[in-house]
Structure 1
């Protein structure tokens, strides 16, 4: 579950400094995603239900496991 109001790194952030990943920000009704290597660049923002559907589709994908 995403904590509202904070950028959170992916649990698959990789080794080293853990900066080879995406970060997600929960704005309650919208979800923003940014590249952790370039946090000052623009973030992609989606309606929360669309992002939830996207995550469910990833989990159901045969290549996700």
Structure 2
């Protein structure tokens, strides 16, 4: 853990990073790779539907 003001010392020169904070301290840093995306579940479902997928809740399908 380290202070938020110290986060710059731990960041890569290039790229995206996911930062987790707790009680005003940085508790985790994770590099986000080029083949990864970060989104909420709602956003992911919206993107899937826009791509033509049908999103169905488990157990709600009738054949």
TM-score (norm 1): 0.29
Choose 1 or 2 for highest CA Rg.
2
